[in-house]
Amino acid sequence: MSETICAISTAPATAALGIIRVSGPETLPILQTILHKPINEPGKACLRRIESEGEVYDEAVVTVYHAPRSYTGQDTAELCCHGGLYVLQSVIELLVRKGCRLADPGEFSKRAFLNGKLDLIKAQAVIDLIEAGSRAEQKNALSQMEGHLSKKITAIYDRLVELNTALLAYVDFPEEVDAPEEDTLAELQEIDRLLSELLAGTDRGQLIREGLNIAIVGAPNVGKSTLMNQLLGYDRSIVSAIPGTTRDTVTEGCRLGDLKCHIADTAGIRETADPVEQQGITIARRRAEQASVVFAVFDGSRPLTDEDQALADEFGGERNLAIINKADLPKIADIEYIKSKFIHCVELSAKEGSGCNALDQWVREQFSTRDTEAQGFITSVHQIQRLLEGQRYVRQAMTGLEQGFPPDMASLDITEAAAAVGEVTGQTVTDQMIDQIFSRFCVGK
Ligand X SMILES: Nc1nc2c(ncn2[C@@H]2O[C@H](COP(=O)(O)OP(=O)(O)OP(=O)(O)O)[C@@H](O)[C@H]2O)c(=O)[nH]1
Q: Which of residues 106-145 bind Mg ion (CB under 5 A)?
A: none
Nearer to Mg ion, 4 or 225 (CB): 225
Instruction: State the minimum distance, in angstroms, from the CB of residue 350 to ligand X.
Output: 4
Q: Which of 140, 150, 246, 380 binds Mg ion (CB under 5 A)?
A: 246
266 binds Mg ion (CB under 5 A): no
Angstrom distance (rounded) from CA 220 to CA 332: 17
Cα 95 versus chain centre, distance: 35
Instruction: State the minimum distance, in angstroms, from the CB of residue 226 to ligand X.
Output: 3
Cis peptide bond upstream of 68, omega within 30 = yes
Angstrom distance (rounded) from CA 412 to CA 418: 10
Angstrom distance (rounded) from CA 284 to CA 302: 23
Q: Which of residues 360-389 bind ligand X (CB under 6 A)?
A: none
Q: Which of 63, 72, 144, 225 binds Mg ion (CB under 5 A)?
A: 225
Q: Give the total residue count for the chain.
A: 445
Instruction: Tell me the per-residue interface mask from 203 to 222 with ligand X, x by CB under 6 A, - otherwise.
Output: ---------------x-xxx
Question: Is 83:18 a contact under the CB 8 Å cutoff?
Answer: yes
Q: In what order do the strands lie in the sheet with 342-347?
A: 250-256, 259-265, 212-218, 293-299, 317-325, 342-347
Nearer to ligand X, 143 or 246 (CB): 246
Nearer to ligand X, 111 or 287 (CB): 287
285 binds ligand X (CB under 6 A): no
Q: Pick the closest to residue 195 from 414, 427, 437 (CA basis).
A: 414
Q: Pick the closest to residue 138 from 149, 125, 122, 120 (CA basis).
A: 125
302 binds ligand X (CB under 6 A): no
Instruction: Tell me the per-residue interface mask from 228 to 247 with ligand X, x by CB under 6 A, - otherwise.
Output: -----------xxx-xxxx-
300 binds ligand X (CB under 6 A): no
Nearer to ligand X, 174 or 243 (CB): 243
Question: Is 248:326 a contact under the CB 8 Å cutoff?
Answer: no
223 binds ligand X (CB under 6 A): yes
122 binds ligand X (CB under 6 A): no
Q: Which residues of the chain form contacts with ligand X (CB under 6 A)?
A: 218, 220-226, 239-241, 243-246, 268, 325-326, 328-329, 349-351
